Structure 1
Amino acid sequence: MPGRTDGLARIRLVIADDQAMIRTGLRFVAESAADIEVVGEAVDGLEALSVTRRLRPDVLLMDIAMPRLDGLGAARRLLSDPHPPRIVMLTTFDTDENLHASLRAGVNGFLLKTSPPEQLIEAVRVAAAGDALIDPAAAMRVIASFTAHHRPVAPPELATLTSRELEVLRLLARGLSNPEIARRLQVGDATIRTHVARVLHKLGLRDRIQAVVFAYEAGVVRPGQRDRSC
């Protein structure tokens, strides 16, 4: 793994997008962070497979809509590998069904191509750390697209959450990061990390993305509903 001059390991990132200008912009943003190194690029899903399997990056930042093999197809194949990378998907909102399918496939985040630079950097860091991040607007649209046709059902596991843990789950479902939740609830980041870990453990969930899906399917939050702590 390439080393930094300060001796700390960088997050190794591969970028996959069929538009050269987008790739250049994403590389510029990513490498503005001292702890991220772009080690490769791909112009479509098939190249994303080969580049990712050859270079074994920590994180793959990949567009959904690409020629030959789209991002969803590439993600499914990579996630079936013995040691898959963490995958953050890029979207322009034109394929809600694919976004939902990506959630189910187990990707580690969604970003809009219009997301601010700091959010892209945060998504890469969060994914590399083993967690997941969804752009709040993307979360709202994706979840609304499949909850519109399903009546929410509260599973029994929901009753195991404390009132504070339920509040944290609601904010997770709105796409807030741990620091944002900490500021909203006026507690420390470490306290929120503990609450998030307990929520995931009690509900048997892998990461924040699964928590978002759970919250909407269980009726904890609903599309268009404002959270009460606003």
Structure 2
Amino acid sequence: MTDCVLITGFEPFGGDDINPSWQVARALDGRRIAGRRLVARQLPCTFAAALSALDQALHGLPSPPQLVLALGLAGSRSAVSIERIAINVIDARIPDNAGAQPIDEPVVPGGPAAYFSRLPIKAISAGLLQAGLPAEVSQTAGTFVCNQVFYGLMHRLQAMPAIRGGFIHLPPLPEQAARHPGSRTLALDEQVRAIQLALTIALRREADLRQGAGAID
């Protein structure tokens, strides 16, 4: 059994100087959870390059990862959002870091309309809430580069059924509060604790909880 878990985070985008998804991934790089070594890779926030960088991360490890967790920033969210569904749509409300703003395009031409996460999303949300961390199950990862990576990851994992994967959106950091008014921020150490716990739950169980999600749309 492989002893590796891959975590990805994004570079800053949309005028922010930092991105908590990469800050958290970088903080976890090299740690071990449930006997698995965590390896972090940064992805560019561009439609043209994000999936090729994901491919390099997936195939550039000494052995295939047991689990892949992609992280992203959702500036309007006030909790750690465990995503359920990736959809085959790119519909950018703002340009990416290369200035591209595709509208109504597929992530994968001819691909399925959507993929579901392979993570125990309700168990992760419940575990985080029990630990005093803000968490929710989310039914939409949006239509920006985060969703593109989530969909692209799950599309690639169709050929690698032994690898589980999913996506979690993080709220802004306190130092980003001025740029994201109205959102509840979460300190970096709490975000790191949340993702460490999420990974622990995901590695220790495959079956999800059978309960209402309390999900956001």
TM-score bin, normalised by smaller chain: 0.3 to 0.5
Greater per-residue strand proportion:
2
Taking structure 2 as the reference length, the TM-score comes to 0.40
Q: TM-score, normalised by structure 1?
A: 0.38
Which fold has the larger relative contact order, with Cα–Cα distance below 8 Å and residues 6 or more apart in sequence?
A: 2
More helix by share: 1
